[in-house]
C-alpha cells in the first residue's frame, strides 16, 4: 500500500465524484458569519433552492458585532444590516445561529473547536480565509467565496482542485518569551507570503507535538498568510483531551469509536510531500512585523532592514512602499517603535491561553498614558472562563478595556478601529494598509508582546519583562 499523507487520507474519504472538471468533495461542516453570508443566501433565494443539510451548517455573528455593550445601537448601519440578515436568513432556512446574546456566540473559528463542531478528519469550509484554524484538529479546512457558500448551502458539496502538500517540520524547545505566534511569523518571514501557494501545509516535529491546542490553532490560523490553502496537524492525545465532553462530540462508546478512527489520521512513514521545510526554534526571539504584510517581520532585538538588503527588485520596492506607509526608517531599533493602541483579540489570539499570557504581563502594571488598550475575548465561553479566573480584573486594574466577544479591530468592519496615523500593536493576523482603519499602521505581535507594549508605550522585548507576580509561561496564574 502506498504511504499517504494526513491530507491525502482526509481528501480521499471525501471525494464523491471524479467525473467532473474538478473533484467534488462532500463537506462535513459549513460555518457562516455575518459578512459573507447575505450575498450567498440572496443567490440561494434567487435560484429557488433550500439548504440541503441545515444540520451541518452553523452560524455566528462575529465580524460586525459591537464589543463595548451588546445593548447599544449599532453605529454602523451596514454592520447592523448584515447581522440582521444573518439572523433572519438562518431562521428562514432552519440553520442554527449563535446571535449577539447567545451564550455560545463568538468568533466563528473559535466557537467551532470549543463546541466540538470541529473534529479530526472533517472537511470544513467557511466564507473566511482563516478557516484553516480548524486544521489544527486534523481537519481539511479552508475559506471559500460567496458563490461557493451558496453551492455548499444548496448541495453540501464543493468542486475543488486537489492542492499539493507541504511539510513544515518545526523542532526545538520554545524559548522563554516565545509563543506559537512568534513561530508562525518567523515561518512566514522565511518562506514568504507566497511560499505556500497551492499547498496544504502539514505541521510536524517535536515543537508541534508539545504544543497545546490553542497554540496549534494559532499556527494553522496564520499559515494562510504564507499563501497556503490550509494547514493541518495530525490529531493526538492532546487533541482528544481538548475535545472530550464538548457539546457536539460523540459521547460514551461512540466517543471511543471516534477516537479509534481519529487515531488513524496521520501521515504514514514514507509518505511523500511535494515540498518540505524545516525550522529550528531553539534560538528564536519574539517577533514583530515592521511592514505591511506578515512576511515583513523580524526579531524584536533587531533593527528594521534596509530595502537595499533585499535581493529581488519586487521585494525592494515592496519594502520601500511599506516603510513609507508605516512612517519608519531603516536601522531603527524595533524595540524603540512607539505605539498608540493595543489590540489583544481575533481568531488568531483571543483564546484563554492567550489572555492568560497577556494578564501575566499586565499584572501589577499600568497602561501607558499615551496608549489605548483593548482586550476582546474570542467567545462568551472564553470571556466567562477569564472572568472566573480573575483575568478581567487584572486587565481592568492595569487600565485595559475589557470588551464583549467579537472580531473587533482585526477586520476593521465595526466601530473598533484606530484613528488615521495611529500605530497599533495587534495580536491579529494581517497588517495590510488600512486593515485596522484608514492610515492605521499595524505591527503584528504575540499577546505577551502586545501587553508589554501597552504598558511601556513602545514595542518591547518580553524576555526582559518584569513579571511582578513572578510568573512565566506555563505557570498557573493566581
CB atoms within 10 A of CB 338: 13
Residue 264 to residues 30, 136, 246, 267: CA-CA distances in angstroms?
Answer: 24, 16, 21, 9
CA gap 438, 430 in Å, rounded: 14
Contacts of 264-269 with C-beta under 8 Å, sequence gap 24+, read: 264/9, 265/6, 265/9, 265/10, 265/120, 265/121, 265/138, 265/234, 265/235, 266/6, 266/234, 266/235, 267/3, 267/4, 267/5, 267/6, 267/167, 267/202, 267/204, 267/234, 268/3, 268/4, 268/5, 269/3
3-state helix, strand, coil in the chain (%, to 5): 35, 15, 45
CA gap 425, 289 in Å, rounded: 9
Q: Report whether 410 belongs to an annotated binding site.
A: yes
Q: Report whether 220 belongs to an annotated binding site.
A: no
Bridge partner residues of 97 (DSSP): 59
Using CA of residue 277, residue 282, residue 287, residue 290, what is the dihedral sign?
negative
Angle at which helices 352-362 and 391-398 cross, to 10°: 40
Which SS3 state, helix, strand or coil, does residue 137 take? helix
Q: Report whether 126 belongs to an annotated binding site.
A: no
- Give the annotated binding-site residues for [4Fe-4S] cluster: 347, 407, 410
- Give the annotated binding-site residues: 347, 407, 410
Amino acid at each position: 500500500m502506498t504511504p499517504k499523507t494526513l491530507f491525502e487520507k482526509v481528501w480521499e474519504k471525501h471525494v464523491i465524484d471524479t467525473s467532473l472538471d474538478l473533484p467534488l468533495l462532500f463537506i462535513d461542516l459549513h460555518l457562516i458569519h455575518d459578512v459573507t453570508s447575505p450575498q450567498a443566501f440572496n443567490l440561494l433565494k434567487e435560484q429557488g433552492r433550500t439548504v440541503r443539510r441545515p444540520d451541518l451548517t452553523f452560524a455566528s455573528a462575529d465580524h460586525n458585532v459591537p464589543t463595548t455593550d451588546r445593548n447599544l445601537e449599532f453605529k454602523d448601519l451596514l454592520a447592523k444590516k448584515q447581522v440582521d440578515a444573518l439572523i433572519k436568513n438562518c431562521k428562514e432556512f432552519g440553520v442554527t445561529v449563535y446571535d449577539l446574546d447567545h451564550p455560545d456566540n463568538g468568533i466563528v473559528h473559535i466557537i467551532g473547536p470549543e463546541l466540538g463542531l470541529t473534529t479530526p478528519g472533517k472537511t470544513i469550509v467557511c466564507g473566511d480565509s482563516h478557516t484553516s484554524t480548524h486544521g489544527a484538529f486534523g481537519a481539511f479546512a479552508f475559506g471559500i467565496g460567496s458563490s461557493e457558500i451558496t453551492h455548499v448551502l444548496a448541495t453540501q458539496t464543493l468542486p475543488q482542485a486537489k492542492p499539493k502538500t507541504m511539510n513544515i517540520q518545526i523542532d526545538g524547545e520554545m524559548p522563554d518569551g516565545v509563543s506559537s505566534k512568534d513561530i508562525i511569523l518567523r515561518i512566514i518571514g522565511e518562506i514568504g507570503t507566497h511560499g505556500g501557494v497551492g499547498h496544504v501545509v502539514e505541521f510536524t516535529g517535536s515543537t508541534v507535538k508539545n504544543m497545546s491546542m490553542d497554540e496549534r490553532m494559532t499556527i494553522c490560523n496564520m499559515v494562510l498568510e504564507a499563501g497556503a490553502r490550509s494547514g493541518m496537524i495530525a490529531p493526538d492525545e492532546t487533541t482528544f483531551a481538548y475535545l472530550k465532553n464538548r457539546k457536539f462530540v460523540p459521547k460514551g462508546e461512540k466517543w471511543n469509536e471516534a477516537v479509534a478512527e481519529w487515531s488513524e489520521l496521520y501521515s504514514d512513514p514514507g509518505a511523500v510531500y511535494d515540498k518540505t521545510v524545516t525550522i529550528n526554534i531553539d534560538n528564536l526571539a519574539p517577533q514583530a512585523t515592521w511592514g505591511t504584510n506578515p512576511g515583513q517581520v523580524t526579531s524584536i532585538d533587531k533593527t528594521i532592514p534596509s530595502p537595499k538588503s533585499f535581493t529581488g527588485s519586487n521585494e525592494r520596492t515592496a519594502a520601500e512602499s511599506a516603510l513609507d506607509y508605516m512612517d519608519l526608517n531603516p536601522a531603527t531599533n524595533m524595540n524603540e517603535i512607539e505605539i498608540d493602541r493595543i489590540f489583544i483579540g481575533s481568531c488568531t489570539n483571543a483564546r484563554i491561553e492567550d489572555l492568560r499570557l497577556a494578564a501575566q504581563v499586565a499584572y501589577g502594571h499600568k497602561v501607558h498614558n499615551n496608549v489605548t488598550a483593548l482586550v476582546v475575548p474570542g467567545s462568551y465561553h472564553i470571556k466567562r472562563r477569564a472572568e472566573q479566573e480573575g483575568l478581567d480584573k487584572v486587565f481592568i486594574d492595569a487600565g485595559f478595556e475589557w470588551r464583549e466577544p467579537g472580531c473587533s479591530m482585526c477586520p476593521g468592519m465595526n466601530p473598533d478601529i484606530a484613528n488615521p496615523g495611529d500605530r497599533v500593536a495587534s495580536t491579529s493576523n494581517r497588517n495590510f494598509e488600512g486593515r485596522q482603519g484608514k492610515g492605521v499602521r499595524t505591527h503584528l505581535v504575540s499577546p505577551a508582546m502586545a501587553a508589554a507594549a501597552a504598558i511601556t508605550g513602545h514595542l518591547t522585548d518580553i524576555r526582559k519583562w518584569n513579571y511582578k507576580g513572578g510568573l512565566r509561561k506555563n505557570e498557573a496564574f493566581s
